[in-house]
Structure 1
Amino acid sequence: MRVASFRASLASFSFHTRFYAAGKPGVPRAGFKAHGDIGDGRNDQQQLQSANPYKSREHMNHKWLILMCVGCLAGGSAAGHLTEVDETALKPPFKKSDVLSNISKTFEFRPDLAAMGVRVAFLLAARRAGLTTDSFDESCAVARGLEDIAGVFQQLGTMYHISTEDAASLVAVAALKFLKAPSESIENAWRWGRNDTDEAPPRRRRNDEKFPVEASGVQSLLKGLCDLTDAECVALLACHSVGEFHEHVSGLDGATHIGSRYKLSNEYYKFLLSNEKRFFDLEVPRTEENKEIRRLPKNFVCVYASTGKRGKKKQCVFNRSEVDAILKNSTWRKLAEYYAENEAAWAEAFQSGFTKMIDSNFKRLRPYDASTD
């Protein structure tokens, strides 16, 4: 064993000795032969330099080398920007059907997250549009209670490498399906490629110059989301019929809009019109659960209505501005009456408006191919 180790060390020493000896000036490198015309002139420094192509400082000036590298980088960058790319051929790193299936299983276990998923779709659209709330309390109320749905977005991002905006829009689509709302054309029109950004867009108030002075808060808010028509605005308001109030958000616990929680349909308009004369102002009581809310809402109206098969009366609560926007605006009232009688017309306007909303105000919404299933 010692003899073998000594031989290996000796061989290594011999190799390195030959290597360093070959690198000394004036010592011919083994295996290298100069041209025949040069002759023996190894002692001539000029000929030695001419015959040694291995020194970069003699072979090429460093400035020219740097300029060549910069030129290559610039040419490559220009080629990348000028070359046409067929973006429709690019595929997402996930299958839409797999993501929707995963989300639907979550909703079966937590149906309240379906209503929250629809709520987040509106909040993100308002953020992208640069809309702001009128007060600090209202801003806090808007953002409260979103921890659980944020966990769903994070899980989807980890599993499918999907952007948060894409995940939020697919959660909204899955929520509509779970809530038995019209969603087929929304799902078919869905495209991937929404970019996330940490940069908030320029803020603007609801009473921006873009909107008429006489417009209500609800009207200006919906109009500010994107290019929605009146028909689409009224159709989207039916989303208020799902979910329920929470004490840590609104000060109320368990109250609903129309007596049911997890079905989105044109029943919303029927309920409003049939109970129009019965609404009364509601004062939200101060409780232990809502003590963190500095100013409790003072713009709620309420009605006790018989709902469900048993006909049990339930407390149904609306925002006063929401009721007035629909029932006191002649154009919107006619649309509400029309939707109450014609569910197909409501479904068409609803899907059109919801598709616009989840696709609105992106700096770059890539038109990538949707054939991911």
Structure 2
Amino acid sequence: MSPQITPIVDTAQDLELAERILTPDGARIPNPQLDRLISDVDPAQLRALHRDMVVLRRIDTEGVALQRQGQLGLWAPCQGQEATQIGTARALAPQDFVFPSYRETGVIYARGAQPGDYVRMWRGEEGAGHDPAALRVAPLQIIIGAQSLHAVGYALGIRLEGAHEVAVTYFGDGATSQGDVNEAMIFAASYRAPVVFVCQNNHWAISEPVALQSQYPIAGRAPGFGIPSMRVDGNDVLACLAAMRWALDHARSGKGPAYIEAVTYRMGPHTTADDPTRYRPAEELEAWRDRDPIARLETYLRGIGELDDEHLAETQAAADAVAKEMRAECLGMVTREPLAVFDGVYAEPHAGLDRQRDEYAAYLATFESEV
């Protein structure tokens, strides 16, 4: 007889099934599975994690403001997901390579992004938003779930070369319904690829609630592919750090892929082109405000006497300074001439390309004649 399984209708009510170190009210609780993985984390490191999350939220706020002011074409907010992104990214080794989706602002921040890197792509300027080789982070991926295949392909290369690296890919709960993610997991498991899958379950795939597309915990899918998984409270930065350390160690030691589902919440819109008030109940949003990842760590640090108002003020000033530089970089960017899109396409002159350039130039000239 098959075991009785109760479907999950609301993961917000099911957070007790997720691994946790800090409760929503900032209390430290014992966790035999995770405590050993963060035994080295001291108060100074905790304050650094707190600073990272504050800076990230300020970057995110500035990104939204720049888009609303017409300086960016789009922005994908990550407010509420700071603990998941900072906690997991700070566990990475310098040689690891990340394949993000379009919302991982915190990951590129943790990997050393410069202020202009956050806005370049969203402004439509030349090149990727950042230098992939310098940050060891692939360009942000707009196609839902496609980066999971890229990560597994890279991980297969790591295995063939015998390198001491891990490929990491981030995606949302909505991407788990895409064929790309499932195909990536099949290949990763079959070839024991050193890759970590990080699902940021933020409850909403644009306007579709996670309970509609997944009746059971998303982390429960991975074992079906032969991949061990862990479900963590994504608003607990310590739990996210510990879970990522576990996953990276598993993959790096030759045991194959690992999977993390971080249960968190998207506090803002899917992108700045979205209006979440049309589909998301206000009371749900308010319930998740009480689980704020930054406030949670602040409460804990204050409780152990490791955080004061002076440090908070200094942290906020640092965050404002990053946002100011980010704005200055954005406003100072010079857009290339439209015809420059043809530069560097071929090493040698090409008649077909010349024809296309002439046609495009003629098209652009029609706008000048209308002025």
Does TM, normalized by the shorter one, top 0.5? Answer: no
Name the structure, 1 or 2, with higher relative contact order (CA <8 Å, separation 6+): 2
Rg larger in structure = 1
